[in-house]
């Protein structure tokens, strides 16, 4: 499969919705594995010129969803601990 987006500058058109949203074309989303909820920075370079940059995900992004998706209740249990007051 040829990847038309990777490794070269590509010009694609999109529109701003009535809600002010800009849709990234499906080819770009697939190529760069862009998923709902990911954050981006928009840098205004000049009037009519902008740069869009994906933010780095936090190291624990998706952890809560992963834990909640566990099929067996009680699978994850808290660890026992000893008080450190007497140390």
Mean pLDDT, all residues of the chain: 81
Q: Spell out the domains of the chain, with CATH numbers in brackets.
A: 1-56 (2.10.260)
Cα–Cα distance between 29 and 12 in angstroms, integer? Answer: 12
Query: Residue 5 and residue 27: Cα distance in Å, rounded?
Result: 8
* Residue 76: band (very low, low, confident or very high) from pLDDT cuts 50, 70, 90: low
User: How high is the pLDDT of residue 16?
Assistant: 92
């Amino acid at each position: 499969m040829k990847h038309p987006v990777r490794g070269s500058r590509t010009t694609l058109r999109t529109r701003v919705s009535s809600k002010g949203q800009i849709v990234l074309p499906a080819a770009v989303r697939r190529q760069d594995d862009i998923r709902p909820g990911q954050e981006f920075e928009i840098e205004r370079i000049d009037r009519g010129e902008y740069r869009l940059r994906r933010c780095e995900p936090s190291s624990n992004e998706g952890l809560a969803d992963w834990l909640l998706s566990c099929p067996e209740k009680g699978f994850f249990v808290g660890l026992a601990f000893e008080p450190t007051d007497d140390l």
